[in-house]
Amino acid sequence: MTSDSTGVAIVGCGNIAARYAADLARYPEMRLAGAHDVLPERAEALAAPHGGRVYGSLEEVVADDAVDIVVNLTVHRAHYDVIRRCLEAGKHVHSEKPLALTREEAADLVEIAESRGLRLGCAPATFLGEAQQTALKLLREGRVGPVRLVYAEVNWGRIEAWHPEPDGFYAVGPLFDVGVYPLTIVTAALGPARRVTAFASVVHPRRRRLDGAEFTITTPNYVVANVEFDGGVLLRLTCCFYVGNDSTRQKGLEFHGDDGSLLLESWHDFDPPLEVRAPGRDPEAIPLLREPYRGVEWGRAVRDLAAAIREGRPHRATGRQAAHVVEILCAAKESYESGKPVDLTSDFTPPAPMDWAV
């Protein structure tokens, strides 16, 4: 670190960037050094309220000694190149999800970071939320007995109903865009997965944008994957860009064990209801370990990354776990294209609980 505070530069100043910047501004030990975007006016709008500079290029970002961590919020397809260039310039990186779009690129980024002694972090960090950390603690303590089945529902609805430019979402598809959320929580709980079998389809391919223009979906927007873990634990993951979360009773994340079920209403927000249902008993609402953040604290993982560097400990939202999640995503794609199961080979160490969730 270059001073008593951690300097952060944001690369990619789309909608989510303002939320990251607002969180970082609340942390007294961190400062927004500046921002860069292909549209300079977006970088100016983000940096100006926080006294940060506007970088004219990525080269200017990585050349600034005031920048300790680069937060990469660019579009999916740019992740690998931006992260690689920042790591090769000696900067620690936290990236939005997914880490990359291929398992080879994800593994390469992990290797670059580790070979240079740099930290690589990645979203989603919703497993650090109060509800999720409470659920993970209950699982560690065996509250529902040995877990054998996990259900994850990712019904994200029709992107064109609210976003003026849905093309990027549909090009990537719900598996890579939002399937990463429950996969990150489940792998944090269960460790690395070992095999994936998947099916996919394009549901209602002809769509209409908010401006009335028609477009056609070609990437599957409905994916069901069966993910196998050590010990025979099975995860059924459903990802959909047709049915919305508010249009179905199938939502959230469920861990089913021999002694009951742990039900988390949302894998996204930090403050959803959490309950345990044991056979023959009424549902039990579970109080969270502490007062939760309302919604999502986007900067929480960046703050943990900075603290981990200062304290010389592992950070929690690691690039190695993110690379394993990318391998699961790619294996699901390979499986639904080939009609065959796909084995997984990557590994990672599950993250430590937050200090208040031990």
Residues 6 or more apart whose Cβ sits within 8 Å of residue 86: 11, 58, 61, 62, 70, 72, 93
Q: What is the pLDDT of residue 134?
A: 98
pLDDT at position 199 over 80 = yes
* 273 and 333 both lie in a single domain: yes
* 33 and 66 both lie in a single domain: yes
Is 71 within 8 Å of 9 (Cβ atoms)? Answer: yes
Structural domain contains residue 333:
yes
* 68 and 169 both lie in a single domain: no
Q: What is the pLDDT of residue 165?
A: 87
* 81 and 139 both lie in a single domain: no
Q: What is the pLDDT of residue 1?
A: 55
pLDDT in tens, 240-266: 999 999 999 999 999 999 999 999 999
* 90 and 145 both lie in a single domain: no
Structural domain contains residue 316:
no
The two structure tokens encoding residue 125: 């960090």
pLDDT in tens, 144-191: 999 999 999 999 999 999 998 898 899 999 999 999 999 999 999 999
* 139 and 155 both lie in a single domain: yes
Structural domain contains residue 192:
yes
- Give residue 283's identity as a one-letter amino acid code: P
Q: Calculate mean pLDDT across residues 338-356.
A: 98
Structural domain contains residue 140:
yes
Burial 205-238 (b: 16+ CB within 10 A, else e): eebebeeeeeeebebbbbbbbbbbbeeebebebb
Torsion of Cα atoms, 125 then 130 then 131 then 136, to 10°: 70
Is 137 within 8 Å of 357 (Cβ atoms)? Answer: yes
Assign residue 201 the CATH number of its domain.
Answer: 3.30.360.10
Give the residue with greater pLDDT, 133 vs 15.
133
**Domain count along the chain:** 2
Assign residue 84 the CATH number of its domain.
Answer: 3.40.50.720
- Measure the CA–CA gap between 332 and 326, rounded to whole angstroms: 10
| H helix and E strand count, the chain | 11, 17
pLDDT in tens, 61-73: 999 999 999 999 9
* 79 and 142 both lie in a single domain: no
Q: Calculate mean pLDDT across residues 334-356.
A: 98
Other Cβ atoms less than 10 A from the Cβ of 355: the count is 6
Structural domain contains residue 314:
no
* 110 and 156 both lie in a single domain: no
Other Cβ atoms less than 10 A from the Cβ of 349: the count is 11
Q: What is the pLDDT of residue 168?
A: 86
Structural domain contains residue 133:
yes
Structural domain contains residue 1:
no
* 196 and 340 both lie in a single domain: yes
Is 252 within 8 Å of 267 (Cβ atoms)? Answer: yes
Q: Calculate mean pLDDT across residues 324-335.
A: 98
188 phi/psi in degrees, rounded to 5: -65, -35
pLDDT at position 269 over 80 = yes
| Of the candidates 109, 61, 110, the residue with the CA atom closest to the CA atom of residue 89 | 61
* 85 and 229 both lie in a single domain: no
Domain that holds residue 32: 6-125+298-305
Q: Average per-residue pLDDT in the chain?
A: 96
Q: What is the pLDDT of residue 3?
A: 59
Structural domain contains residue 315:
no
* 62 and 154 both lie in a single domain: no
- Measure the CA–CA gap between 60 and 55, rounded to whole angstroms: 6
* 21 and 77 both lie in a single domain: yes
